[in-house]
Amino acid sequence: NAGVTQTPKFQVLKTGQSMTLQCAQDMNHEYMSWYRQDPGMGLRLIHYSVGAGITDQGEVPNGYNVSRSTTEDFPLRLLSAAPSQTSVYFCASRSGAVADTQYFGPGTRLTVL
């Protein structure tokens, strides 16, 4: 199993550009999430999904869109990048079992100029 994979690893955008961060998992997990990690702020939940076709907002959803058309993939779209979205983005997944752990991807480091 590859686990949770994220692409790209690094990205530089200009203000106003749009892009999609890719996330995929091969563990047939129902739950997938996107977090951002900022110095002094810790990890904060952006959006999450409890299954294909079902998504919901987390703590900091503004400026981001998600969709979940398949179990495996959960892309995060930045509609119009802003410098405040400079961060490290982590995708995570887990099964529906109560005692199952959360698995994280390696992260995407995004800089918006």
- Indicate the residue among 16 and 51 with the shorter CB distance to another protein: 51
- Give 49's strand partners: 32, 55
- The helix or strand, by DSSP H or E, that contains position 20, with its residue range, turns out to be strand 19-25
Q: According to CB under 8 A, which residues from 24 to 83 bind another protein?
A: 31, 33, 35, 40-45, 48, 50, 56, 58
What CA–CA distance (Å, rounded) separates 22 from 67? 11
Closest distance between another protein and the C-beta of residue 112, in Å?
19
- Indicate the residue among 2 and 14 with the shorter CB distance to another protein: 2
What CA–CA distance (Å, rounded) separates 13 from 111? 6
Interface residues with another protein (CB under 8 A)?
A: 31, 33, 35, 40-45, 48, 50, 56, 58, 90, 92, 98-99, 101-107
